[in-house]
Amino acid sequence: MLDRLKHIWMLYRKPVLLNVVTVIIYILLDGPTTEGSRTPMPPMNAWERILFMAAGVSGFVSLLWIMLIALSEHYRDKNW
């Protein structure tokens, strides 16, 4: 069991850490957030747009990376 968990961690370590670091940087650099459901949010400035786009791209890349790792493991187990 412990060996299997270590194997899973070694496979998914980099994309998970990429996602965690992206979220931390997004929070630390004050990415755009909603004030409340009834409070109108001011339009994003250029910095917030760049930060929002970079976080979105990073999240998409890490998700694709995880999916490719899972598919490669799936087909490796079947000896394809």
Say whether pTM exceeds 0.85: no
What single-letter amino acid sits at 58?
S
What single-letter amino acid sits at 12?
Y
pLDDT single digits (tens) 13-59: 999 999 999 888 888 887 666 666 666 767 778 888 888 898 889 98
pLDDT at residue 65, rounded to an integer: 93
